[in-house]
Structure 1
Amino acid sequence: MAQKGRAMADQPALIRVHPDDSVAVALRPIQAGEALELDGQTVSALDDIAQGHKLALRDHAAGDVVRKYGQSIGKAHAAIARGAHVHTHNLSTALAGELTYAAGTAHDGQAKPAVEATWHGYLREDGRAATRNEIWILPTVGCVGLTAEQVAREAQLRHADLIAAGRIDGIHAFSHPHGCSQLGDDLAGTRSVLAGLAANPNAAGVLILGLGCESNQIAELMALLPEAARSKLRSLSSQRAGDELAEAGALIDAMVQEAAKAERQPLPLSALVVGLKCGGSDGFSGLTANPLLGRFSETLANAGGTPVLTEIPEIFGAEQALLDRAKSQEIFAAAADLVNGFKRYYLDQGLPVSENPSPGNLAGGITTLEEKSLGAVQKAGHAALSAVIGYGQQTPLGGLSLLEAPGNDAISSTALAAAGATMVLFTTGRGTPLGFPVPTVKVASNHALAKAKPHWIDFDAAIALDEGQDVADKAFLNRLIAIASGERTAAEKSGQRAIAIWRRGVTL
């Protein structure tokens, strides 16, 4: 249970996340010399400490483990006095390379009372549910990316009345620079992610727009789609077409008319597939926003829904607790192999596995990758790990899945949509305007960001510190139900939609 400390003016100043922690987090800026009370004891701040940064609760000698979340977040590389600022000047990562993980006893995570919740979405022919009813244009190759965007803009204008009336939710093109000059697994990755996007339930109709001479041929891409998803696809080769704009427009018009017949209907929480993502994290992310997502993930999984966790490099240092929740030894082994495979990916390039955190993370108070990871994995709560899926693969329904993808915001969020997520819950402490193919719900970790960027942020998770977890959880669930039922996110309102594809191979 997190414990708050107060300054002499009785204003909360510190929070200790776990009783075993040797540091506390500043809830507001602290000045050197302030006397702060925590757990009935007084500690004097020796340094100025920014909001979200850490203060030492005991003396540490060089080499001592520093603890937060009840776990090691690294080792002191210099002596740290009680009351001192703990950051990069005196704390370093203890991460190295691959590990041999001990298989724990498989169990079903933490049980939670069932929550009755209904949202209104679109039930597709294959039995999957959608939060949006849209037409997507997916170029096979970067050469026709701008053409796809032009087709989408013109179609949006032609069908503005149906969009305004809510019969369809939009017509969108997702351009990218890939699809040619790629080989082997790299090309296969591009193809599988585009196929996964095409299969996403939020796309009622999909136009696969090709050039004609590219490596990523239309037929090979379409062959990867599940049989149930192929009926909603149309394709066009620009080199073979006469007027490709006119022909693409006609295909779009026919799909729009068909999509406009769909109606929202009441659906259970179990029908939701939700991607879990964090970006621009700060020292509050692991205190407010990520635990909020974790409690929702437990609720969703308990109801039979599907949370999907990714960003594999951002679980380094926190993976054992996740592995311990694997529902079988096979899932445990697959997850352990995925984590070690990512570490090998860095080591083979001559890079350390601990290159994270980013400059923004550091400015926000996160010092080491262990600290970042221990905050990040909280997005999955205590839900049992039910599946491990590769990049570009579809998630099975029901329970928590672990998806292969890097930490990069755009690449991992695109992979979540390609895996079948119809919403992405995106926590942030520093803020970002970018959205992705499916509704991207931005969750601020702190009040300052939520107040400064209301055109970026959909929910302020810091209310959990003021009003308690139960109030925050209820408000968050209501907000998600509204968005799943059609209320637009900040990113949707501002037209912020993009994809990014993970390119790992050589370029011809």
Structure 2
Amino acid sequence: MAKPLVLHPSDTIAVLTERAKAGDDPLGLGVALVAPVSSGHKVARVAMAAGTPVIKFGQFIGQTTVAVAAGDHVHTHNCVFANPEKDYAISADLAAAQLAIPRTDRLTFDGYARADGRIGTRNFIALVATVNCSATVIRRAASEIGASGLLDDYANVDGIVALAHGTGCGMANSGRGFDILDRVLWGHAIHPNVGATVFVGLGCEVMQIARMQSHFGDAGTDRFHALTIQDTGGTRATIDAIKAHVAEILPQVNAITRTPQPMSALRVALQCGGSDGFSSITANPALGIASDLIVGQGGTAILSETPEIYGAEQLLLRRAADEKIAEKLIAQIKWWEDYAAQNGGSMDNNPSPGNKQGGITTILEKSLGAAAKAGSTPLTEVYDYGETVTQAGFVFMDTPGYDPVSVTGQIAGGAQIVVFTTGRGSAFGSKPAPTIKLATSDRLFNQMPDDMDMNTGDILSGGVSMADKGREIFDLIRATASGQVTKSEALDLGDNEFVPWQIGAVM
């Protein structure tokens, strides 16, 4: 069988690249496995007593619960999470991170230039529900518009997206939960991939239409339109009013065309979901190379999922541009520790059952792989959930690890492209920003061909270099920004993946 991977000289484990049978001796130590072990899982390189740190990538990922012999399978049956030491050497690697920024010729993509100076990669009309009570209305209107063929004559309009959600009422009218929803709704309404927005409310909800109108005022009425079901005359009348307004504004939205725009205008959201033991070896570090190339172009790479960098945050803090930025991230980590404890949870509730089946044992192991998506350049800013991203370079946004909620925040912040790595498989898609999905293995790429945009498994199976694969991902991001359709777009995914983070009391 293929030799297991040793990812760092100090590692106490190695990673299997193919399934081992009972009786196999994958490390050649003269120790036969007592049961089969799947690819992506770990085997011990050395004997370890109970309570011994388990090391992968040269980093602590957990500790043994019993004595482990050299050659044994190392996983949840004999390795558990333990709180890592928070040895934060803030900005210790900043100089090296600055040198890691690629110096390349500036490139362009074909995008939509908006009046506010931002650049879109798509051109949607957004129907935005301010409350769950108007969710059915906007979904019905979008469905009827799509079925009518109304859009057929407007080649520059990518479609109608109905942004419905399950909140907007039964909540406090101030505080963090309210601010998050406000940021998310407005962030999608003004998103560079949106040419016009229709806000739809019931009329009596907490998240009032007037709140949205206060954002844009009279000057924005050409791009933003608002109506309520109660004032318009009910469900059917509101659906018809939405359809009539869309028909009226379609020529205006269609008038824009793609023109060459600098890659520096791109904000790329970095995501992973359904991770496996190869995520940290193929797709995530390859995406990290692409992230560095985006940063080298003057663009922005947005890492998120705070619970899924837990235990690896020190690697990001070591390249923080300054102490203020580092303190923001540390505060977010502490908030999540308190939040999990208040709700009777643990930061090791993640990884999921599927992650564990794929070979990931603890959140610390998962976090090391997740952080690899961020490449090697300086951490230039830290944002709250859904906050507008204005700083170029590698930045971090506080979000949950749950993919739909996390991506919703990143798109609200202005991300025009989402790149999503997966090892177990994912059927995720997003609107108005398209999602590119990267498979970690040949097996997954061949198993889900209609969902996966690119295979990174050939880093192991075909000897493709990490640098070449990273450049391939960068080129795919550029092509997608110019209008190339992703697999999730072809499947029309994304209408049900708009999930604002609901935090605070439901009343």
What TM-score comes out, normalization by structure 2 length? 0.93
Tell me, in whole angstroms, the C-alpha distance in 1 between the residues paired with 2:446 and 2:184.
36
Task: Output aligned runs, 1:255-404, within 5 Å.
Answer: 255-404=249-398
Q: Aligned to 1:34, what secondary structure does the other structure show?
A: coil
Aligned to 1:170: 159
Q: Report the count of equivalent residues.
A: 492
Tell me, in whole angstroms, the C-alpha distance in 2 between the residues paired with 1:81 and 1:54.
13
Task: Output aligned runs, 1:124-203, within 5 Å.
Answer: 124-156=114-146, 157-163=148-154, 166-183=155-172, 184-185=174-175, 186-203=177-194
Structure 1 counterpart of 2:4, which letter? L
Structure 1 pair 158–309 and aligned structure 2 pair: CA distance change class (3 A): same
Structure 1 pair 216–332 and aligned structure 2 pair: CA distance change class (3 A): same
- Residue 212 of structure 1 and its aligned partner are, at CA, apart by 0.6
| More divergent stretch after superposition (186-195 vs 359-368) | 186-195
- Deviation readout 1:343-386 (Å, 9 max, x if unpaired): 11112223222211100000000000100000001110112111
Question: 1:59·1:82 contact (CA, 8 Å) conserved in 2?
Answer: yes
Tell me, in whole angstroms, the C-alpha distance in 1 between the residues paired with 2:378 and 2:222.
35
Identity %: 36
Question: 1:199·1:225 contact (CA, 8 Å) conserved in 2?
Answer: no
Structure 1 pair 101–470 and aligned structure 2 pair: CA distance change class (3 A): closer
Question: 2:272·2:421 contact (CA, 8 Å) conserved in 1?
Answer: yes
Tell me, in whole angstroms, the C-alpha distance in 2 between the residues paired with 1:133 and 1:316.
36
Aligned to 2:9: 19
- Residue 160 of structure 1 and its aligned partner are, at CA, apart by 3.1
Aligned to 2:90: 103
Structure 2 counterpart of 1:378, which letter? A
Structure 1 pair 226–435 and aligned structure 2 pair: CA distance change class (3 A): farther
- Residue 486 of structure 1 and its aligned partner are, at CA, apart by 1.0
| More divergent stretch after superposition (138-147 vs 460-469) | 460-469
Q: Aligned to 2:5, what secondary structure does the other structure show?
A: strand
Structure 2 counterpart of 1:33, which letter? G
In the alignment, does 2:71 pair up with 1:83? yes
Aligned to 2:488: 491
- Deviation readout 1:278-299 (Å, 9 max, x if unpaired): 1110000000111111111111
Aligned to 2:500: 501
Q: 1:251 aligns with which of 242, 245, 251?
A: 245
Tell me, in whole angstroms, the C-alpha distance in 1 between the residues paired with 2:238 and 2:219.
27
Tell me, in whole angstroms, the C-alpha distance in 2 between the residues paired with 1:506 and 1:251.
36
- Residue 208 of structure 1 and its aligned partner are, at CA, apart by 0.8
Structure 1 counterpart of 2:59, which letter? Q
Q: Aligned to 2:281, what secondary structure does the other structure show?
A: coil
Structure 1 counterpart of 2:214, which letter? A
Structure 1 counterpart of 2:163, which letter? F
Aligned to 1:4: none
Tell me, in whole angstroms, the C-alpha distance in 2 between the residues paired with 1:199 and 1:128.
10
Question: 2:284·2:421 contact (CA, 8 Å) conserved in 1?
Answer: yes
Tell me, in whole angstroms, the C-alpha distance in 2 between the residues paired with 1:320 and 1:263.
44
Q: Aligned to 1:251, what secondary structure does the other structure show?
A: helix
- Deviation readout 1:44-81 (Å, 9 max, x if unpaired): 45242101100111111111111111100011111111
Structure 2 counterpart of 1:431, which letter? G
Structure 2 counterpart of 1:162, which letter? D
Aligned to 1:473: 470
Task: Output aligned runs, 1:111-130, within 5 Å.
Answer: 111-114=101-104, 116-130=106-120
Aligned to 1:46: 33
- Deviation readout 1:76-114 (Å, 9 max, x if unpaired): 111111111000011011127x95744344726223232
Question: 1:411·1:500 contact (CA, 8 Å) conserved in 2?
Answer: yes
Q: Aligned to 2:225, what secondary structure does the other structure show?
A: strand
